[in-house]
């Protein structure tokens, strides 16, 4: 069973559990609904998120539709909540749409207006899949005409709005009804506002868009000029004309007039938002429009409107920078100068009143305007800028640098410093950046970490224009580091600034490394930092990731560190291990590193899971069968550790020692559990015999295992005691918990990303799934294997150790790759008889014939062999087809077998 099929099966099981919970009989509440029903309905969102398969989602939606049709309004409401929280991605996977609608649509004929309202909202939530269904459109229009209850009418309008957003035909159907309702004087004001908003979808047809526009304009010119009506109508017009791509310039002028002439604060604020929506990507914006916007800034009596208008002007100038040039090189220059002077005056007033947000908005707008105004024009026909522009820019820059940084909160401070850096860059090379850097550098040496963090990017930008910085700053910073070790925050910020502003130099790098080792109290023996690890991590984050492969590698390591931290805190680390494995697989796509690194992580997770499961069994009176099942888990883990040790040719002694230690751990745990379960299968593996001897040291893993073995031997001497079983459980529990607290041992080779040996081989005929090999009646398969054994250049001395290649070939009824994970598949291909024998009877019957092993000599890294495979002749086979599976092993000069792979498979059919 492959992963997707298994997940779908789990999804159906979860769905059945929710159905059982929903139908569970219990004591109903005051509204005739059980608490379990609400819990079951809220669980459907979990189904959508964790099992996003069309079959599962379709079954869940149909189940919800059934509940909606047959249960009371409270159940209907919670079903609606599920539909509302379901994303469009989930709903788009529903393929049985007709059945779903057939269950929900009849509720619109109910006598209960609440039920009809909820049904309308459910249909609105499903708009992505039912927008063009005529029966749905007819039902919504009918309720829009017949509804008398306000709740139902609002629901019908909302559903119509959702369908209009998705449908091509429905807006034209609904248009006349909306106009009639708006012209009806009896239509409530709130309902009119909701209806007006639907006009924003009327852009499919140009004629309908113009009619919708005229209707909106008539509302603006009518007697009723409530601010909410003006706001909603102008926003609808803006969205409509923006989508229809018509009359945009007219709408820009209309919005500017409202912002300039309408004295209502909420109208002006909303109009400026509309202006941004319409003009940010529009080419119809002209310099006269910008002058009007500047006039709004000058004339507004509300600080919030002034701030909003400045933000709007800044955004539009950044989007349309040529507008400033048009203002400068035209007859509007004098007016433009007056505008800049008024902005400067606004900045001064904001400084006097210590209003941080207005200071930032006005200074940022001035910076944006002056940056474009001071830019030299290439046109010979345009006159030079007046000198007053340059002097004005210098004057504003001095004003900005005089403002105290204490006026700003942390968010504002970063924005203000960006503006300051921008003014410094604007006046280059006339501005003295070196003096500014020195003055600001003194602030970073304070203990105010918030201020220092904000100053770092500012000083980094400033350093680009400092001519004298390399002459004094590196040595100044390095010497200052010696005095800052007692204050970690200052030390970290100084190092960050040094890394940001100083070019790489061997001498500086060495001094910095020495300083970091003193700061972090470097331990030479273990090659680790013993103090201030978090601060060192913050420094390391400053250095950028070299490439995407490095990013995934570091991400994987960070999740491993998190998993081990959670384990030390007695929390479940499984999720972090899984995330580490996902990121490592992404890393493998880029680098193709050794597979054993992934297997180290996988086996660590499986070993910890087995320890946790066994420890939980010791807390309860677990049956012998449960204990034996857990013992099998440890046996499986031990076999997998043994295979990993055999799978990497040239693996170092350290890695082999660690793998052997964990294999012994798993075997000891298996032996202890089998002894505890009093199973007849209790026996000692040869590798455990030495560990029964008296322990000499308990400092390492082997010492611990020797102690555990001694404890287990003592169980036999206590077998006559009444409470012997409880004592054994306590001992086993203590042993398992001790192993859980042991740190993860990793060899140094784990952090090296090279494969020691790589084998490339091919077959003739080619093994393929898409193009199976066809055999005639009574024909045997003659297959030729040939390949190359490539050893890494750094391990070229190992090449002469490889003497032979063992080619393991066997036939199975079915494809083997979906039976287990990658490690399990390699183990199965390496030893098919042994591994399939450990599975249940279904898997054992998959093997058609015992495996055939061919031995090929390796000469000059090349091997070849021609073998004969005989298809099974049994008449009991219903299908005369099979899968040929091939796995490569290495035999070295010491007769050691290395299961390095790779593996191949293909289909064969005979008559």
Least confident range of 24-28, 120-124, 710-714, 750-754: 24-28
Do 725 and 768 sit in the same domain of this protein? no
What is the extent of the structural domain holding 697?
631-750
- Domain end (from 718, 734, 750): 750
C-beta separation of 291 from 338 below 8 A: no
Q: Which of 408, 398, 494, 498 is nearest to 443 (CA)?
A: 494
C-beta separation of 834 from 647 below 8 A: no
Query: Over the stretch 213-255, which tens digit does the pLDDT of each residue have?
Result: 999 999 988 776 789 999 999 999 999 998 888 888 899 999 9
The average pLDDT across 844-848 equals 74
Number of folded domains in the chain? Answer: 4
pLDDT at 159: 95
pLDDT at 382: 47
Q: SS3 of 493, please?
A: helix
C-beta separation of 789 from 861 below 8 A: yes
Q: For residue 155, tell me if it sits in a domain.
A: no
Do 881 and 781 sit in the same domain of this protein? yes
pLDDT at 63: 92
Do 763 and 639 sit in the same domain of this protein? no
Q: Which of 110, 43, 106, 52 is nearest to 79 (CA)?
A: 43
pLDDT at 287: 85
C-beta separation of 420 from 431 below 8 A: no
pLDDT at 841: 44
What is the Cβ-side half-sphere exposure of residue 428, based on CA atoms within 13 angstroms?
16
pLDDT at 160: 94
Do 659 and 762 sit in the same domain of this protein? no
505 has pLDDT over 90: no
- Domain end (from 728, 750, 772): 750
pLDDT at 698: 36
Quote the mean pLDDT of the chain.
83
Confidence of residue 25 (pLDDT cuts 50, 70, 90): low
The DSSP secondary-structure symbol of 468 reads S
Do 766 and 726 sit in the same domain of this protein? no
pLDDT at 116: 94
Do 746 and 760 sit in the same domain of this protein? no
608 has pLDDT over 60: yes
Strand partners of residue 887 = 808, 903
699 has pLDDT over 50: no
The average pLDDT across 453-480 equals 84
Q: For residue 656, tell me if it sits in a domain.
A: yes
689 has pLDDT over 70: no
Do 714 and 829 sit in the same domain of this protein? no
The average pLDDT across 418-424 equals 87
Q: SS3 of 528, please?
A: strand
Confidence of residue 410 (pLDDT cuts 50, 70, 90): confident
Kindly report the CATH number assigned to the domain that includes residue 801: 2.60.40.10
Q: How far is CA 845 from CA 458, 475, 811, 836, 839, in A?
A: 71, 75, 11, 9, 10
Q: Could you give the CA distance from residue 293 to residue 289 in angstroms, rounded to a whole number?
A: 6
Confidence of residue 692 (pLDDT cuts 50, 70, 90): very low
Q: For residue 5, tell me if it sits in a domain.
A: no
pLDDT at 118: 95
Q: Could you give the CA distance from residue 48 to residue 471 in angstroms, rounded to a whole number?
A: 62
337 has pLDDT over 60: yes
Do 664 and 792 sit in the same domain of this protein? no
380 has pLDDT over 50: no
Q: SS3 of 816, please?
A: coil
Query: Over the stretch 275-331, which tens digit does the pLDDT of each residue have?
Result: 988 876 676 788 888 889 989 988 888 888 988 999 999 988 888 888 887 887 777
827 has pLDDT over 90: no
Least confident range of 86-95, 333-342, 558-567, 718-727: 718-727
140 has pLDDT over 90: yes
User: Which tokens hold the place of 280?
Assistant: 């940010």
Which DSSP helix (H) or strand (E) runs through 792?
A: none
The average pLDDT across 848-869 equals 89
Q: Which of 573, 581, 863, 861 is nearest to 741 (CA)?
A: 573
Query: Over the stretch 430-452, which tens digit does the pLDDT of each residue have?
Result: 788 888 888 888 887 776 777 77
Least confident range of 51-65, 268-282, 371-385, 880-894: 371-385
Least confident range of 154-163, 201-210, 240-249, 423-432: 423-432
Contacts of 138 (CB under 8 A, 6+ apart): none
Task: Give Cα 144 to chain centroid, integer Å.
Answer: 43
Q: Rg for the chain (alpha carbons), in Å? A: 38
The average pLDDT across 387-405 equals 79
Do 672 and 785 sit in the same domain of this protein? no
Q: For residue 127, tell me if it sits in a domain.
A: no
Contacts of 457 (CB under 8 A, 6+ apart): 414, 417, 418
Q: For residue 740, tell me if it sits in a domain.
A: yes
pLDDT at 695: 39
pLDDT at 33: 58
385 has pLDDT over 60: no
Q: How far is CA 152 from CA 111, 136, 284, in A?
A: 12, 16, 42
| Residue percentage of the chain with pLDDT more than 90 | 21
Q: For residue 107, tell me if it sits in a domain.
A: no
pLDDT at 377: 54
Q: Could you give the CA distance from residue 485 to residue 515 in angstroms, rounded to a whole number?
A: 9
650 has pLDDT over 80: no
Q: For residue 865, tell me if it sits in a domain.
A: yes
Q: For residue 279, tell me if it sits in a domain.
A: no
The average pLDDT across 532-555 equals 72
Do 678 and 743 sit in the same domain of this protein? yes
The average pLDDT across 533-542 equals 75
Confidence of residue 848 (pLDDT cuts 50, 70, 90): confident
Do 797 and 731 sit in the same domain of this protein? no
Q: SS3 of 757, please?
A: strand
Least confident range of 237-246, 531-540, 733-742: 531-540
| Residue percentage of the chain with pLDDT more than 70 | 88
- Domain end (from 214, 246, 278): 246
Least confident range of 374-383, 565-574, 615-624, 777-786: 374-383
CB atoms within 10 A of CB 173: 17
Least confident range of 6-20, 257-271, 557-571: 6-20
Q: Is the Cα dihedral 210, 213, 218, 219 positive or negative?
A: positive
Do 768 and 877 sit in the same domain of this protein? yes
Task: Give Cα 691 to chain centroid, integer Å.
Answer: 46
379 has pLDDT over 60: no
């Amino acid at each position: 069973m492959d992963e997707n099929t298994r997940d779908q099966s789990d999804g159906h099981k979860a769905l059945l559990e929710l159905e059982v919970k929903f139908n569970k009989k219990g004591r109903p509440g005051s509204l005739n609904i059980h608490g379990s029903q609400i819990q079951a309905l809220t669980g459907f969102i979990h189904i959508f998120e964790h099992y996003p398969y069309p079959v599962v989602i379709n079954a869940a939606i149909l189940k919800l539709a059934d509940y909606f049709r047959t249960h009371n309004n409270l159940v209907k409401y919670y079903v609606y909540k599920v539909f509302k929280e379901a994303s469009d991605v989930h709903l788009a996977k529903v393929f049985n749409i007709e059945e779903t609608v057939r269950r929900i649509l009849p509720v619109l004929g109910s006598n209960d207006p609440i039920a009809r309202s909820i049904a309308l909202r459910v249909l609105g939530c499903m708009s992505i899949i039912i927008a063009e269904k005529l029966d749905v459109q007819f039902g919504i229009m009918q309720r829009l005409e017949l509804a008398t209850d306000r709740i139902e009418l609002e629901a019908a309008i909302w559903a119509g709005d959702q369908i209009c957003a998705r449908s091509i035909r429905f807006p034209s159907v609904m248009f006349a009804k909306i106009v009639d309702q708006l012209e009806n004087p009896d239509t409530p004001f709130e309902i009119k506002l909701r209806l007006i908003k639907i006009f924003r979808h009327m852009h499919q047809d140009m004629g309908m868009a113009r009619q919708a526009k005229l209707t909106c304009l008539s509302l603006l010119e009518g007697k009723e000029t409530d601010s909410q009506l003006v706001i909603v109508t102008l926003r609808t017009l803006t969205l409509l004309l923006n989508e229809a791509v018509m009359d945009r310039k007219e709408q820009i002028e209309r919005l500017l007039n409202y912002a300039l002439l309408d004295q209502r604060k909420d109208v002006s604020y909303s109009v400026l938002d509309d202006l941004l929506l319409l003009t940010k990507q529009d080419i119809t914006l002209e310099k006269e429009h910008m002058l009007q916007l500047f006039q709004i800034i000058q004339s507004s009596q509300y600080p919030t409107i002034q701030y909003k208008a400045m933000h709007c002007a800044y955004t539009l100038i950044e989007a349309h920078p040529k507008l400033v040039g048009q203002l400068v090189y035209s007859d509007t220059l004098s007016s433009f100068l007056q505008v800049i002077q008024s902005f400067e005056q606004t900045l001064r007033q904001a400084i006097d009143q210590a209003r941080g947000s207005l200071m930032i908005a006005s200074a940022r707008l001035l910076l944006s305007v002056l940056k474009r105004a001071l830019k030299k024009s290439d046109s010979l026909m345009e006159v030079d800028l007046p000198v007053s522009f340059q002097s004005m820019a210098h004057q504003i820059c001095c004003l900005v640098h005089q403002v105290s940084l204490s006026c700003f909160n942390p968010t504002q401070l970063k924005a203000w410093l960006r503006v300051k850096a921008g003014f410094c860059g604007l006046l280059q090379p006339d501005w003295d950046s070196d003096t500014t850097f020195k003055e600001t550098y003194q602030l970073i040496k304070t203990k105010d970490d918030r201020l220092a963090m904000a100053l770092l990017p500012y000083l980094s930008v400033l350093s680009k224009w400092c001519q004298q910085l390399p002459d004094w700053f590196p040595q100044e910073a390095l010497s200052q580091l010696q005095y800052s070790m007692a204050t970690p925050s200052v030390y970290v910020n100084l190092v960050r600034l040094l890394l940001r502003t100083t070019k790489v130099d061997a001498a500086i790098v060495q001094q910095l490394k020495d300083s970091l080792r003193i700061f972090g109290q470097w331990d030479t023996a273990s090659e680790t930092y013993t103090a201030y690890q978090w601060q060192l991590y913050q420094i390391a984050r400053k250095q950028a990731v070299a490439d995407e492969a490095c990013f995934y590698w570091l991400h994987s390591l960070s999740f491993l560190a998190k998993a081990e931290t959670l384990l030390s805190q007695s929390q479940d680390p499984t999720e972090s291990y899984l995330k580490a494995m996902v990121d490592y697989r992404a890393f493998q796509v880029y680098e193709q590193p050794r597979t054993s690194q992934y297997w180290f992580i996988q086996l660590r997770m499986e070993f910890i899971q087995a320890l946790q499961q066994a420890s939980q069994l010791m807390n309860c009176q677990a049956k012998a069968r449960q204990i034996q099942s857990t013992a099998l888990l440890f046996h499986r883990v031990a076999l997998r550790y043994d295979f990993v040790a055999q799978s990497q040719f040239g693996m170092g002694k350290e890695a082999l020692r660690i793998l052997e230690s964990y294999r012994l751990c798993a075997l000891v745990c298996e032996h202890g559990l089998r002894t505890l379960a009093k199973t007849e299968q209790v026996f000692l593996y040869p590798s455990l015999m030495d560990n029964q001897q008296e322990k000499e040291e308990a400092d390492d893993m082997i010492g611990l295992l020797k102690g555990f073995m001694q404890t287990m031997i003592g169980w036999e001497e206590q077998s006559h005691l009444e409470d012997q079983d409880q004592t054994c459980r306590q001992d086993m529990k203590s042993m398992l918990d001790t192993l859980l607290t042991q740190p993860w041992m990793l060899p140094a080779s784990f952090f090296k990303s090279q494969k020691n040996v790589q084998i490339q081989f091919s077959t003739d005929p080619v093994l393929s799934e898409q193009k199976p090999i066809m055999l005639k009646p009574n024909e045997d398969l003659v297959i030729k294997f040939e390949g190359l054994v490539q050893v890494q250049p750094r391990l070229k001395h190992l090449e002469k150790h490889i003497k032979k290649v063992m080619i393991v070939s066997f036939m199975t009824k079915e494809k083997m790759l979906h039976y287990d994970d990658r490690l399990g598949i390699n183990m199965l291909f390496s030893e098919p008889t042994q591994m399939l024998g450990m599975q249940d009877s279904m898997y054992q019957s998959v093997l058609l014939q015992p495996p055939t092993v061919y031995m090929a000599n390796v000469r000059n890294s090349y091997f070849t062999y021609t073998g004969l495979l005989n298809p099974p002749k049994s008449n009991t086979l219903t299908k005369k087809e099979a899968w040929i599976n091939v796995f490569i092993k290495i035999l070295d000069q010491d007769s050691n077998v290395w299961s390095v792979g790779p593996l191949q498979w293909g289909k064969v059919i005979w008559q």
